[in-house]
Amino acid sequence: MPALIVKPRARIFHGHEWVYASEIQRLAGHPQPGDVIDLVSARDRFLGSAIYNPASQIVARRFSRRKQDLEADFFLRRLERARDLRHQLDYPDPVYRLVWSEADGLPGVVIDRYGDHFALQTLTLAMDQRKELIADAIEALFSPKSITERNDSPIRKAESLPLATGTLRGETPEPFEISVNGIRQVVDLGEGQKTGIYLDQLDAYVDVARRAPGRRVLDCFCNQGGFALHAARAGASHVTAVDVSAAAVESTRANAALNGLEVEAVEANAFDFLKESETRLQQGSGSEGGDGLYDLIILDPPSFTRNRKSVNDALRGYKEIHLRALKLLSRDGILSTYCCSHHVSREEFLQVIRDASVDARRTVRLLASHSQRLDHPIIPTVPETEYLKGFTFQAVAGW
* Residue whose CB is less far from ligand SAH, 247 or 397: 247
* Residue whose CB is less far from ligand SAH, 121 or 195: 195
Q: Which stretch binds ligand SAH (CB under 6 A): 30-38, 177-185, 298-306, 322-330?
A: 298-306
- What residues contact residue 345 under an 8 Å CB cut-off, 6+ apart? none
- What residues contact residue 291 under an 8 Å CB cut-off, 6+ apart? 330, 331
By the rule CB under 6 A, 226 interacts with ligand SAH: yes
By the rule CB under 6 A, 302 interacts with ligand SAH: yes
CB atoms within 10 A of CB 103: 20
Q: Per-residue contact track with ligand SAH, 118 to 157, x per CB under 6 A? A: ----------------------------------------
Q: Which segments of 16-151 does DSSP mark as H helices, in order? A: 72-89, 125-129, 131-142
By the rule CB under 6 A, 303 interacts with ligand SAH: no
Q: Which stretch binds ligand SAH (CB under 6 A): 11-19, 50-58, 87-95, 266-274?
A: 266-274
Please confirm, yes or no, whether 220 is among the known catalytic residues. no
Cβ atoms 214, 187 nearer than 8 A: no
Residues 378, 120, 181: CA angle, nearest 5 degrees: 65
Longest dimension (CA), the chain: 75
Which of the following is catalytic: 220, 222, 339, 340?
A: 340
From 64, 68, 245, 371, residue interacting with ligand SAH (rule: CB under 6 A):
245
Shortest separation between residue 320's beta carbon and ligand SAH, angstroms: 11
Shortest separation between residue 90's beta carbon and ligand SAH, angstroms: 22
Q: Per-residue contact track with ligand SAH, 41 to 70, x per CB under 6 A? A: ------------------------------
Query: In a 3-state reduction of DSSP, which class is residue 324?
Result: helix
Nearest to 326 by CA among 295, 280, 285, 286: 295
From 75, 221, 349, 393, residue interacting with ligand SAH (rule: CB under 6 A):
221
* Residue whose CB is less far from ligand SAH, 235 or 302: 302
CA pair distance 388, 97, nearest whole angstrom: 14
Q: Which segments of 149-243 does DSSP mark as H helices, in order? A: 202-210, 226-234
Residue 87, CA distances (Å) to 65, 119, 123, 203 in order: 26, 18, 25, 16
Cβ atoms 279, 273 nearer than 8 A: no
Q: Which segments of 96-190 does DSSP mark as H helices, in order? A: 125-129, 131-142
By the rule CB under 6 A, 337 interacts with ligand SAH: no
CA pair distance 165, 82, nearest whole angstrom: 24
223: left (phi over 0), alpha (psi -120 to 50) or beta: left
From 300, 315, 339, 388, residue interacting with ligand SAH (rule: CB under 6 A):
300
Q: Which stretch binds ligand SAH (CB under 6 A): 69-77, 183-191, 264-272, 375-383?
A: 264-272
From 53, 172, 185, 224, residue interacting with ligand SAH (rule: CB under 6 A):
224
CA pair distance 90, 271, nearest whole angstrom: 38
By the rule CB under 6 A, 248 interacts with ligand SAH: yes
* Residue whose CB is less far from ligand SAH, 209 or 242: 242
Q: Per-residue contact track with ligand SAH, 159 to 198, x per CB under 6 A? A: ---------------------------------------x
Shortest separation between residue 4's beta carbon and ligand SAH, angstroms: 38
Shortest separation between residue 224's beta carbon and ligand SAH, angstroms: 6
CA pair distance 150, 200, nearest whole angstrom: 17
Which H helix or E strand runs over 38?
strand 36-41
Q: Which stretch binds ligand SAH (CB under 6 A): 170-178, 215-223, 308-316, 367-375?
A: 215-223
CA pair distance 12, 111, nearest whole angstrom: 25
From 222, 236, 297, 314, residue interacting with ligand SAH (rule: CB under 6 A):
222
Shortest separation between residue 249's beta carbon and ligand SAH, angstroms: 9
Looking at the annotation, which residues are catalytic? 340
Binding site for ligand SAH (CB under 6 A): 198, 201, 221-224, 226-227, 242-245, 248, 269-271, 300-302
